[in-house]
Structure 1
Amino acid sequence: MSYDSAKAAFADWGVDTETALSKLAEIPISMHCWQGDDVVGFEAKTGNSGGGIQATGNHPGRARTPDELRADLEFSYSMIPGKHRLNLHACYLDTDQNPDRDEIEYSHFAPWVDWATDQGLGLDFNPTFFAHEKADDNLTLSHPDQGIREFWIEHGKRSRDIAAQMGAALGSPVVNNIWVPDGYKDTPVDRMEPRQRLENSLDTMMATKHDKAQMLDAVESKLFGIGVEACTVGSHEFYMGYATRKGTLLCLDMGHFHPTENVADKLSSVALSVDEILLHVSRPMRWDSDHVILLDDAILQMAQELVSAGLLDRTHIGLDFFDATISRTAAWVIGTRNMQKALLRALLAPWDRLKSAENNLDYTSRLVVTEEIKDLPYATVWAEFCDRMGVPSGQSLISDLHQYQAGVSGRG
Structure 2
Amino acid sequence: MSVNENYQRAKKDYEKWGIDVDQVLEKLKSVPISIHCWQGDDIGGFETNQQELSGGIDVTGNYPGKATTPKELRGDLEKALSLIPGKHRVNLHAIYGETAGKVVERDQLEPKHFQNWVNWAKEHGLGLDFNPTLFSHPKADDGLTLSHPDKEVRDFWIRHCIASRKIAAYFGAELGTPALTNIWIPDGYKDIPSDRLTPRKRLKDSLDEIFKVEIDEKYNIDAVESKLFGIGSEAYVVGSHEFYMGYALKNNKLCLLDTGHYHPTEVVSNKISAMLLYSDKLALHVSRPVRWDSDHVVILDDELREIGLEIVRNDALDKVMIGLDFFDASINRVAAWTIGTRNMIKALLYAMLVPNDYLKQLQEEGNFTERLALMEEFKTYPFGAIWDYYCEQTGVPVREAWLEDIQSYEKEVLSKR
Aligned match of 2:303 in 298, 306, 309?
A: 298
Matches of 2:48 and 2:297 in 1, distance apart?
28
Please show how residues 156-167 of structure 1 align to structure 2 within 5 Å. 156-167=161-172
Provide the residue aligned with 2:349 in structure 1: 344
Q: Give 1:50's aligned residue.
A: 54
Deviations 1:314-349 (A, max 9, x none): 110000000000000000001000000000000000
Instruction: Look up the match of 2:377.
Output: 372
Among 74, 79, 92, the alignment partner of 1:70 is 74
- Unpaired runs of at least 5, structure 1: none
SS at match of 1:196: helix
Contact 1:126 1:177 (8 Å CA) reproduced? yes
1:310 and 2:319 matched? no
1:33 aligns with 2:37: yes
Is it true that 1:207 corresponds to 2:212 in the alignment?
A: yes
CA contact (8 A) 1:50 1:227 kept: no
DSSP-derived class of the 1:206 partner: helix
**Kept after mapping to 2: 8 A contact 1:51/1:181:** yes
Question: What is the TM-score normalised by the length of structure 1?
Answer: 0.98
Q: How far off is 1:48 after superposition? A: 4.4
The residue matched to 1:260 in structure 2 has which SS?
coil
Number of matched residues? Answer: 412
C-alpha offsets along residues 359-397 of structure 1, whole Å, 9 cap, x if unaligned? 001000101111111221111000100011000022421
Cα deviation, 1:168-213, whole Å, max 9, x if unaligned, reads: 0111000000000000001110111100000000100110111111
Q: Which residue of 2 aligns with 1:197?
A: 202
Q: Please list the CA deviations of residues 48-93 of structure 1 after superposition, one character each: whole Å capped at 9, or x if unmatched.
A: 4333211100101000000000000011100001100000000000
Instruction: Report SS of the residue matched to 1:109.
Output: helix
> CA offset at residue 409 of structure 1?
3.2
Name the aligned partner's letter for residue 19 of structure 2: V
Q: Give the match for residue 390 of structure 1.
A: 395
Matched to 1:122, the amino acid is G
Task: Give the aligned residue type for 2:39.
Answer: Q
Contact 1:303 1:346 in 2 (8 A): yes
* Other-structure match for 1:356: 361
- The answer to whether the 8 A contact 2:55-2:140 is kept is no
The 3 A distance-change label for structure 1 pair 63 and 46 is closer
Residue in 1 that maps onto 2:105: 100
User: Please, which of 103, 116, 123 is the counterpart of residue 128 of structure 2?
Assistant: 123
**Aligned-pair CA distance for 1:45:** 4.5
SS at match of 2:293: coil
Q: Which ranges of structure 2 fall in alignment gaps of 5 or more residues?
A: none
| Aligned AA (2:399) | G
Q: Find the partner of 1:285 among 286, 290, 295.
A: 290
Q: Is the 8 A contact 2:259 2:285 kept in 1?
A: yes
CA separation in 2, counterparts of 1:188 and 1:176? 30
Task: State the one-letter code of the partner of 2:18.
Answer: G
Q: Per-residue deviation at 1:401?
A: 1.6
Aligned residue in 2 for 1:90:
94
